[in-house]
Amino acid sequence: MAGVSQPSGLPAPSVAPDARRQLIDAALRLFANRGFDGTSLQDIADVVGIRKASLLYHFESKEQLRLAVLDHLLSVWNEGLPRLLVAAARTGAPRFSSVIGELVRFFDEDPNRARLLLRESLDRGEDMRKRLQTFVAPWVGVVAEYIRDGQKAGDIDAHVDPEAYVVQIVHMVVSGMATAANFDHALLPPSHPLGTPDERHTRELIRIARASLFRERGTL
């Protein structure tokens, strides 16, 4: 039935330098946009151009592919971490701009990252909690400590709850990037003197983060 259209004798050796990598990339994109349950192994194999059975040669199960995608994402995050901590080592407003800039950049580079993270924490909260505890919690602690320094020095509002503040901002960035295209474009007029919905979204995000942090109103 359903005579599978065997395209040909498949003469192409199909270089396939890093099929594994290609599969992870395709899976990231599909998982992020359709969800884990909404994506079949067939879908992923089709994108890469191999058979489903060949996919299962590289990853012994769908679950393990999921883990590989997540591991890959977190390793990319870890690569960028030093740069972020360097940014956090500055002082005052430059520090603020640098840190939040690095954060935004990571997800702006590929919004699928934000979508996947959001989906994972919806689908498998328990697993995600552990991962966040390992990969993000220490970094949150570092930034929170910088905030406490700022509070002692007097340039950061004493009412700020450092950890909770960082978590909220991260949350805002992640979920914002994940659904910005849908959410903001629906609620913000497409053309406006202040700019495109995306621009207004990002600008206001940074304004909110800054205005709710420093004691004195920032000078833009």
Partner DNA sequence: GCGGTCACCTACCAATCGGTAGACATTCGT
Partner DNA sequence: ACGAATGTCTACCGATTGGTAGGTGACCGC
**Interface positions with DNA (CB under 7 A):** 1-2, 4, 6, 10-16, 19, 39-43, 49-54, 56-58, 60-63
Which of a second copy, DNA, none interacts with 35 (beta carbon under 5 to 8 A by kind)?
Answer: a second copy
List, in order, residues 6 or more apart from 59 with CB less than 8 Å away: 23, 65, 68
Distances (CA, A) of 132 to 22, 113, 121, 166: 26, 14, 10, 14
Does 104 bind a second copy (CB under 8 A)? Our answer is no
**Which letter does DSSP use for residue 4 in this model?**
-
**Residue ranges in 106-125 that form contacts with a second copy under rule CB under 8 A:** 115, 118-119, 121-123, 125
List, in order, residues 6 or more apart from 171 with CB less than 8 Å away: none
- Minimum CB separation of residue 180 from a second copy in Å reads 9
Pick from 149, 151, 121: nearest CA to 136: 121
First to last CA, the chain: 66
Classify 45 in phi/psi space as left (phi over 0), alpha (psi -120 to 50) or beta.
Answer: alpha
- Minimum CB separation of residue 120 from a second copy in Å reads 9
Does 2 bind a second copy (CB under 8 A)? Our answer is no
**Residue ranges in 142-161 that form contacts with a second copy under rule CB under 8 A:** 157, 159-161
The Cα 71–Cα 77 span in angstroms is: 10
Which of DNA, a second copy, none interacts with 219 (beta carbon under 5 to 8 A by kind)?
Answer: none
Which of DNA, a second copy, none interacts with 220 (beta carbon under 5 to 8 A by kind)?
Answer: a second copy
The Cα 43–Cα 58 span in angstroms is: 16
- Minimum CB separation of residue 47 from DNA in Å reads 13
**Residue ranges in 8-47 that form contacts with a second copy under rule CB under 8 A:** 34-38
Residues lying near a second copy in the complex (CB under 8 A) are found at 34-38, 115, 118-119, 121-123, 125-126, 128-130, 132-133, 136-137, 140, 157, 159-161, 163-168, 171-172, 174-176, 178-179, 181-189, 194, 200-201, 203-205, 207-209, 211-212, 215, 217, 220
